[in-house]
Amino acid sequence: MAVYTSVSDEALAAFLAEYELGEAVAFKGIAEGVENSNYYLETTKGRYILTLFEKRTDPADLPYFIGLKQHLAARGFSCPLPVAAKDGEALRRLAGRHAVIITFLQGLSPRRPNAAQCRELGRGLAQLHLAAADFEMTRENSLGPASWPILWQGREANADALEPGLADKIESDLATIRGAATLSDTLPRGTIHADLFPDNAFFLGDRFTGAIDFYFACTDALAYDLAICVNAWAFEPDGAFNFSKAKNLIAGYEQIRPLQDDEKAAFPTLCLGAAIRFFLTRLVDWTDTPADALVKPKDPLDYAARLRFHRTAESIRDYGGE
């Protein structure tokens, strides 16, 4: 939950005057997202989300994120559409931050996704990959494999404090990943969401209605995005792997975009890499977040449990693939 930046009435009114959206009739901070400040904004013309970008988002990346959402929406993929102001620009300034108004997307984020939702999410992820196929902008994955040894440096004792012996296992995982370092270059690449967790996916019942929060999107191996989703959707709160959910997720994806043999062969390593990525960023947040911070860091050990599973997986069949 997060609203870091407050917006005065005068600032909001002056900001809205730059758009053709009428006047504000409701404005409420939303307790969602951990990177940026989000407000529910209702105007006399419709309903929107106002996002203020906080320090963790690099301003140089914002045109990419906005361009991607505009591209996806134009291709019929359901995602929030950045709204241009009267001068045609969607990316603006408010309360000392970069800011954007995006359209309001209906749907609910599943707190505990079911297998049918996993299948729909798989289809949605593949649709996103296909819709983005002709998106011409690129962005390096700043949290890709090259960043992991840097994130890890000096955190060994923190890992062992969480779980004795964990540091050695992470070292060994990083060695495995070094041995497969070319994967993300040789596999089919494209634009990936890179953070399509349940709280970034909307459903009405079991129907996928769209994805939000594209602020980790980048250019990388498409199958790595699916591996991130397996980590995010197919493990239970107690850390147990749910074979049925993973199987449905992969099957849904392959209904729209069948995986190549090399993607299938790489799948356990991609899943291991995805788990390392989220373990490491959570470990950094866990270690660095001041005790009085507004946002509670997520437990890195959730991902230590996933890593245990991925270390034993030998093929995509262990994930319900074929």
Each residue 185-204 as x (binds a copy of itself by CB under 8 A) or -, in order, gives -------------------x
Report in angstroms how near the CB of residue 116 gets to a copy of itself at its nearest.
Answer: 12
Amino acid identity of residue 47, one-letter, is R
Among 30-38, 67-75, 78-86, 133-141, the segment contacting a copy of itself (CB under 8 A): 30-38
Distance CA 200, CA 108 (A): 10
Which residue, chain included where needed, has tokens 């929406």? 73
Q: Which of 5, 18, 30, 84 is the binder for a copy of itself (CB under 8 A)? A: 30
Report in angstroms how near the CB of residue 1 gets to a copy of itself at its nearest.
Answer: 6
CA 64 to chain centre: 15
Give residues 266-305 in contact with a copy of itself (rule: CB under 8 A): 291-294, 296
Q: Does position 56 bind a copy of itself by CB under 8 A?
A: no
Nearer to a copy of itself, 39 or 135 (CB): 39
Helix (H/G/I), strand (E/B), else coil: 260: coil
Exposure of 311 by Cβ count < 10 A (0-12 exposed, 13-18 middle, 19+ buried)? middle
Q: What phi and psi, each to the nearest 5 degrees, are found at residue 284? A: -65, -45
Tokens of 309: 């599973």
Among 23-31, 83-91, 133-141, 257-265, the segment contacting a copy of itself (CB under 8 A): 23-31
Contact partners, residue 6, CB within 8 Å, separation at least 6: 95
Nearest C-alpha neighbor of 169 from the set 278, 305, 274, 267: 305
Among 74-82, 103-111, 164-172, 267-275, the segment contacting a copy of itself (CB under 8 A): 103-111
Which residue, chain included where needed, has tokens 């498409």? 222
Nearer to a copy of itself, 210 or 273 (CB): 210
Q: Residues interacting with a copy of itself, by CB under 8 A? A: 1-3, 6-10, 12, 23-32, 40, 42, 104, 106-112, 204-205, 291-294, 296
